[in-house]
């Protein structure tokens, strides 16, 4: 038998059940999944995925109060006055990059 060590962790019951259901469909045991994760941590010399806060979603006008809307409109007016404008293509590219839309 290989030299192994036990790992004990507490996780949310629903998360555990959902993850194990997916792993089962893939034919992977929880122990194998943890082994894979640890192997990738070693290979990557860190987590094998990006760790960052979720990107902010753009707020619809209907989700703003009057003060927030006035502030955004003022920023737009100042941008126009300073000659700083963007084409539709530039705006679409920024929205696609920042928000995936």
pLDDT in tens, 25-73: 999 999 999 999 999 999 999 999 888 776 667 778 888 889 989 998 9
Q: Is the pTM of this model over 0.95?
A: no
Q: Which stretches within the chain are classed as H helix?
A: 13-26, 30-44, 66-81, 88-99
Tokens 């019951």: give the residue.
13
């Amino acid at each position: 038998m290989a030299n192994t060590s036990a790992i004990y962790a507490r996780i949310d019951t629903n998360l555990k059940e959902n993850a194990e259901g997916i792993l089962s469909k893939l034919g992977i045991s929880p122990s194998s999944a943890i082994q894979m994760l640890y192997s990738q941590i070693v290979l990557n010399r860190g987590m094998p995925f990006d760790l960052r806060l979720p990107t902010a979603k753009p707020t619809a006008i209907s989700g703003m109060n009057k003060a927030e809307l006035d502030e955004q409109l003022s920023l737009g007016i100042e941008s126009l006055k300073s000659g700083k404008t963007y084409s539709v293509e530039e705006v679409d590219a920024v929205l696609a990059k920042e928000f995936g839309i």
